Amino acid sequence: MKKALTIAGSDSSGGAGIQADLKTMTMNGVYAMSAITALTAQNTTGVSGIMEVTPEFLSLELDAVFTDIYPDAVKTGMVSSSELIHTIVNSLKKYHAKNIVVDPVMVATSGAKLISDDAIETLKKELLPIATVITPNIPEAEVLSGIKINNEEDMITAARIIYEKYGCNVLCKGGHQINDANDLLYRDGSYIWFKGKRINNNNTHGTGCTLSSAIASFLAREESLDEAVKHAKDYISKALEAQLDLGKGSGPLAHNYVLFEGE
Ligand SMILES: Nc1ncnc2c1ncn2[C@@H]1O[C@H](COP(=O)(O)OP(=O)(O)OP(=O)(O)O)[C@@H](O)[C@H]1O
Ligand SMILES: Cc1ncc(CO)c(N)n1
């Protein structure tokens, strides 16, 4: 069986972060492992606390994983400080990690800030250049490219700027756009659209985490980047279509939608 690792924060409500990643990887046929960067006290209405692990502890977690069950793909999610990003980059280089999917998490669906300003600089300088693909949403792509995104043309321009500046492939997600949920993949100097119908569901807690770990799962299974993105988009669409409705705010996705009968 292929193996995948998520390096991310824990979400006590189970909808985003590590918990979303483990569910997604398991549902998509890979063995899932985790290195936790922080605990969050969080539910569908917001984040009430964050407790980071120390860089030394994160380094031990990564050593433990890489020296025993070597992952075929790695996904990174919430990493809130520069020190933790340094630690991750050092370990990924030391162990020659492959198929690195970086979700540049900045703000939770509920609005909470999940990264410090200096960490955004470290992310740009150190983590993006070693990524196979990065998966910004529109606000994140605006921060990384330095341009305002108002339409699909702007998505292409922003993705190209990021690709040229940091040397990584870019999947710019359209989930925050007004129109259809179309995602743009800028890779190897050209682009391709992954078109999706906007599903009428406000329960989108963890959509970004889910998409990036699904891509990591399919890359671990030796699919090409285009195939992996296509299959990840199919997965997120089905999970949204199941219309699970939990909690008082923006609720989590139905990963086991095959079993879910709408109760
Ligand atoms: N209402 C929707 N209908 C269909 N697809 C959607 C919808 N909302 C989001 N998506 C899809 O979900 C994926 C994640 O996109 P999104 O832009 O929501 O990520 P994100 O903002 O990083 O997520 P998060 O809210 O977890 O931070 C993309 O493939 C996007 O197109
Ligand atoms: C732990 C964690 N990671 C990522 C996100 C982004 O959705 C979140 N809300 N919580």
- Taking only the tens place, the pLDDT of each residue in 106-152 is 987 777 888 888 999 999 999 999 999 999 999 999 999 999 999 99
260 occurs within a structural domain: no
Q: What pLDDT score does 263 carry?
A: 57
**Do the beta carbons of residue 103 and residue 79 sit within 8 Å?**
no
259 occurs within a structural domain: no
Q: How far apart are CA 5 and CA 154, in angstroms?
A: 32
Q: For the chain, which residues score pLDDT lower than 70?
A: 177-179, 260-263
54 occurs within a structural domain: yes
Secondary structure of residue 48 in the 3-state scheme: strand
Q: Which DSSP category does 257 fall into?
A: T
Provide residues with CB under 6 Å of ligand 1: 16, 109, 137, 173-176, 181, 183, 196, 198-199, 201, 204, 206-209, 211, 233, 236-237, 240
Q: What pLDDT score does 262 carry?
A: 63
143 occurs within a structural domain: yes
Residues with catalytic function:
173, 204, 206-209
Domain count, the chain: 1
For position 186, which CATH number holds?
3.40.1190.20
Query: How far from chain centre, in Å, is Cα 249?
Result: 21
252 occurs within a structural domain: no
18 occurs within a structural domain: yes
The predicted complex's ipTM stands at 0.97
Domain that holds residue 198: 3-241
Nearest ligand, CA of residue 201?
1
Q: What pLDDT score does 176 carry?
A: 72
Residue 235's CB: how many other CB atoms inside 10 A? 23
Q: What pLDDT score does 234 carry?
A: 96
If one residue of 207, 209, 215, 253 were mutated to test the ligand 1 pocket, choosing by the most ligand atoms within 8 A of its CB, it would be 207
207 occurs within a structural domain: yes
235 occurs within a structural domain: yes
